[in-house]
A and B are shown apart, each in its own frame.
Chain A
Amino acid sequence: MDPVLVIQSLISGVMMGMVYALLGVGFSLTWGVMHVIHISHAVFGLLGAYFAYTLLTLYGVDPVVSAMVSTPLLFIVACAVYQVLIRPLTKAREMVVASMILTFGLAIILENLLVLVWKADPRLLTPSYASESWIIGPFYLQYPHLIGFALSLVGISSLYVFLKKTTTGMAVRAAWQNQEAARLYGVNLFRISMITFALAVSTAGAGGISLALLYSFEPHSHNLWLIYLFLVVIVGGVGNVIGTALAGLIIGVITGLSMAFLPYQWVNLITFGLLMVFLIFRPHGLFGEVG
C-alpha cells in the first residue's frame, strides 16, 4: 500500500470529518440539553452557505468573513425561532417526537424558501483559493479543506470554552445534566434553552459555510448533511461537544482509510454500518454517558 495515498487520504478525511463535527455540535447540544431533535438544523447550515455564496458572488466577500457575520445574525434569527416555535413545544408530552415533527415541517418550509430565493440550481462556493493547495513534499493540503478545518476548530473550541468557562455555559451544562436541580439553583431554563438553540443554529451556519467550501450545495442538500449529523452525534454522544469533535475526526479517519485500502463503493457502507453498530451496542456514543 502506497504510504502517500494513505496519508493523503487520512489528511483529507480528517479535515472533512472535522467540518461535519462543526455542523453536528449544535445538533448534539439541542438534542442533549433541550431534548429537541432539530431536523431543520442542517437547513440553517445551508442558509449560512447561501449567505456566504451571495456575499462572495455579489461583493467578493471571503467565506471566512461571511462565517463571522452569519454567526451573530443566525443567533438572532434562532432566538426568534425559539420563541415562536420551539418554546411552545415544552408543553408537549413527548418533547422529542413533537420537536422532530415540528422541525421537519420547518425544514420543508425553509427548503422551499431557499428554492424561491436562490432557485434549485446547484451552487459552488469558489473563493480565489477554491482549488489551491499548500504542497508539503508529496502531500497536498487543499486550502478549502484547511480553512474548513480551521473554522471548525475555532467554532468547536469557542463553544467548548463557552460551556466550560462562562456562567451561562455552566448553566447550560447544569440544565443538561439535571433540569430540576438547575431550576432550583435559579437557572432560567427558557433563557438557557434559547441561548443553547441560538448557539446551535449559529454554529450550523459556520458549519454550512465550511461544508460549502468542500462540496456543491442546493436547497435539498440538508437532507444529506442531516445523515452525517446523526452519524457524528450518535458516535460522539448526544450533548457532548468534545465527543462530537472526536467523532468527526474518527469518522474522517475511517473514511480516509477506507478510501485508501478498500474499493470506493464500500466507503459509505462502512461509515453508515458504523452508525448501526453504535445504535445497537453503544447508543450513548463513544463519549456520552449511559442513560
Chain B
Amino acid sequence: MGKKKSKHAFLLFFLIGVCLTAGLPASVLGAAKPIVIGGSLPLTGQYAETGQWIERGMRYWAEEVNAKGGLLGRPVEFKIYDDQSEVSKAVTFAEKAITVDKVDLLFGGYPGTAARAVMAVAEKHKYVYVSMGGHMKSFQQGYTYSFGAPPLMGEWWYEGFFQWLATLPANQRPKRAAVYTINNPVGLSLMDSINRWTKKLGIQVVINEKYNAPLADATPLIVKAKQLNCDLLFSNGFFPDGVTTIKAAKALNYNPKAIVQGIGSVIPAWVKELGRDGDYVFSGTSLYNKLNYPGNDKLNAYVKKKYGLDGYPLYFGFGYAWMQTLEQGVRGANSLNQTKIRDWLKTHKVHTIAGPMTFDKNGLPPPINFCTQIIDGKVELIWPKNIRTREPVYPKPAWK
C-alpha cells in the first residue's frame, strides 16, 4: 500500500514538473528560443515583385545564419506580415510586431514611403531599423535608431552618372536636358543631383516638368523634348511610366545622346520585357551584384541555382544586406538590447555585400555613386571607373 502511495506521489510530482517546465521559457531550459525578427513587406499589391525579392534575400540570410549556429547562439526566424503595398498597413504591422508580438528585432520594409513611415514607429519604440529609408529627408528627422545600409537615396541616384559625364570632353557632353519627373517624394528626390550637376557642367535644363502617376501618355513629353532639341532625357520615374516614355521615344524616333531613367530600369522586368529597347539607359544604384565585396559571388551562385538568374536582383541583395548589418550590430553589442545595438552600429564599421560602411549621426553611410547602364540586355556598372564592368555606350545608338 505504502509502495503504491509513493508511486502515485512520484507520478503526481512528475506530471506537475512537466506542466511547469512546459510553461517556462526555452532559454531557461537551455533550449535555444528563436530570435524573432518582425515587420512587414509588400508581398501582394503594387510592389509585390520587389517585396518578394526582399523576402527571399532575408530568408537566404536566415538560412545561412541558422546553418552556422544562429545569432547569439539562438536560431533566427521571421514574422513577416503582408502590408499589401500600403503604407498605413506597414505602419500598423510595425506597431503590431513591436507591441503585440514583441519581436526581438525589426526588419526593413519597402518602398521608401513605407520605410519612411516605419522609421518614426521604430524611433518611438526605440527599435533599431535597418532599411533603405525614404530618401534624404527621412534621414534628417533626428531619428537615432534608423540606418540605411545601404540606403536608396534619390539624392545620390545620379551622382555616378554625372561624375562619369564630367570625365567626358565638354564638347561631347549633352547641352540641353529634358527632365520629366514623377510627382512623388522618390521622383522629386532625384532632382537634387540634377540641379547641382547640370549647373556645374553647363547643361541647360530646357524642360523641367512633373507628372502625376499614372502617366496617361508620354507622346507629348517626347514631342516636346524632340522639338526643343534636348540631347539628354531624364525619365525620373518607376517602371510603368518609364516604359511608356521609352516606348514613345522609340515610336517617335527620338534619339538623345543619353537617356537616364529613375528606378524602373533596375528591376529585372525592364530587361526582360523591353528587350533591346531597354538598352543604353543609364541609372543609379546603391548595390550591384558584380561588386567585388565578399558575399556577392555566393549570392550570385545561389540565385543562379535557385532561380536561374545571372546575378542576384537588386532587392534580393538589399534584403540580404540589411540583415547583414543588423546581424553585425547584434553580434557587436552581444545583446538584443536595441540601444546597445544602435550605439555599436554608430561607432563601428559593418561589412556588407554593398561594401564596408560606417554611419553618420543620421544613420547614413558616405554617399554612394554607382552608375549603371543597360548594355546588351544586362545591367552593367560603368562608374566608379575602377570597378567598371563594361565601357559605357555613349552617345546612345539610334533606335533600330
Report yes or no: B252 in contact with A263, Cβ–Cβ below 8 A. Answer: no
- Tell whether B227 is near chain A: CB-to-CB under 8 Å: yes
Size of B's binding interface in residues, CB under 8 A? 42
Q: Most B CB atoms within 10 A — which of A5, A130, A215, A224?
A: A215
- If A124-B273, A130-B247, A216-B244 touch, whether A5 touches B48 (CB-CB below 8 Å) is no
Q: In the complex, which of the residues A8, A140, A216, A264 contacts B240, with contact meaning CB atoms closer than 8 Å? A: A216
- Tell whether B81 is near chain A: CB-to-CB under 8 Å: no
Per-residue B-contact encoding for A254-273, CB less than 8 Å = 1, 0 else? 01100110011101110100
Q: In the complex, which of the residues A13, A119, A132, A143 contacts B217, with contact meaning CB atoms closer than 8 Å? A: A13
Report yes or no: B220 in contact with A12, Cβ–Cβ below 8 A. Answer: yes
Q: How far is the CA of A144 from the CA of B221 in the complex (A)?
A: 18
Q: In the complex, which of the residues B49, B209, B216, B273 contacts A16, with contact meaning CB atoms closer than 8 Å? A: B216
* Residue of B with least CB distance to A124: B273
- Tell whether A112 is near chain B: CB-to-CB under 8 Å: yes
Report yes or no: B214 in contact with A122, Cβ–Cβ below 8 A. Answer: no
Decide if the interface of chain B is mainly helix, strand, loop or mixed: helix
- Tell whether B210 is near chain A: CB-to-CB under 8 Å: yes
- Tell whether B277 is near chain A: CB-to-CB under 8 Å: yes
Q: How far is the CA of A142 from the CA of B244 in the complex (A)?
A: 12
Report yes or no: B243 in contact with A265, Cβ–Cβ below 8 A. Answer: no
Q: How far is the CA of A13 from the CA of B221 in the complex (A)?
A: 13
Per-residue A-contact encoding for B243-276, CB less than 8 Å = 1, 0 else? 1100110111100000000000001110011110
- If A131-B251, A265-B212, A268-B212 touch, whether A142 touches B219 (CB-CB below 8 Å) is yes
Report yes or no: A131 in contact with B247, Cβ–Cβ below 8 A. Answer: yes
Report yes or no: B274 in contact with A124, Cβ–Cβ below 8 A. Answer: yes
- Tell whether B367 is near chain A: CB-to-CB under 8 Å: no
- If A123-B269, A123-B273, A131-B277 touch, whether A269 touches B251 (CB-CB below 8 Å) is no
Report yes or no: B216 in contact with A122, Cβ–Cβ below 8 A. Answer: no
Q: Which residues of A contact B251 (CB under 8 A)?
A: 131-133, 140, 142-144
Report yes or no: B212 in contact with A215, Cβ–Cβ below 8 A. Answer: no
Task: Give the distance to chain B from A256, nearest Cβ to Cβ, in Å.
Answer: 8
Task: Give the distance to chain A from B379, nearest Cβ to Cβ, in Å.
Answer: 16
Q: Which residues of A contact B269 (CB under 8 A)?
A: 121-123
Q: Among residues 233 to 291 in chain A, which have CB atoms less than 8 Å away from a CB atom of chain B? A: 255-256, 259-260, 263-265, 267-269, 271
Per-residue A-contact encoding for B220-252, CB less than 8 Å = 1, 0 else? 110110010000000000011001100110111
- Tell whether B52 is near chain A: CB-to-CB under 8 Å: yes
Q: Which residues of B contact A143 (CB under 8 A)?
A: 251
- If A115-B48, A120-B44, A140-B252 touch, whether A265 touches B220 (CB-CB below 8 Å) is no
Report yes or no: A8 in contact with B49, Cβ–Cβ below 8 A. Answer: no
Task: Give the distance to chain A from B265, nearest Cβ to Cβ, in Å.
Answer: 12
Task: Give the distance to chain A from B309, nearest Cβ to Cβ, in Å.
Answer: 13
- Tell whether B69 is near chain A: CB-to-CB under 8 Å: no
Q: How far is the CA of A115 from the CA of B275 in the complex (A)?
A: 22
Q: Which residues of B contact A115 (CB under 8 A)?
A: 44, 48
Report yes or no: B219 in contact with A12, Cβ–Cβ below 8 A. Answer: yes
- Tell whether B202 is near chain A: CB-to-CB under 8 Å: no
Q: How far is the CA of A159 from the CA of B217 in the complex (A)?
A: 27
Q: How far is the CA of A8 from the CA of B225 in the complex (A)?
A: 13
- If A122-B269, A216-B240 touch, whether A112 touches B44 (CB-CB below 8 Å) is yes
Task: Give the distance to chain A from B184, nearest Cβ to Cβ, in Å.
Answer: 11
- Tell whether A2 is near chain B: CB-to-CB under 8 Å: yes
